[in-house]
Amino acid sequence: MLDWMAWTWPTAVFFLIIAVLLITFTALAIKFPEVPRKGILRIETTRGDRLFITLLGSAFINLLWLAAGLGPQPYALILCLVYAAAVFRWV
CA atoms within 13 A on the CB side of 76: 17
Looking at residue 61, its amino acid is: I
The whole-number pLDDT of residue 3 equals 67
How far apart CA 61 and CA 42 sit, in angstroms, is: 23
Query: Is the separation of the CB atoms in 47 and 25 below 8 Å?
Result: yes
Looking at residue 55, its amino acid is: L
CA-nearest of 58, 71, 70 to 17 is 58
With a cut of 90, say whether residue 44 has pLDDT above it.
yes
Is this prediction's pTM over 0.85? no
pLDDT tens digits along 50-74: 999 999 999 999 999 999 999 998 8
pLDDT tens digits along 2-16: 566 777 887 788 889
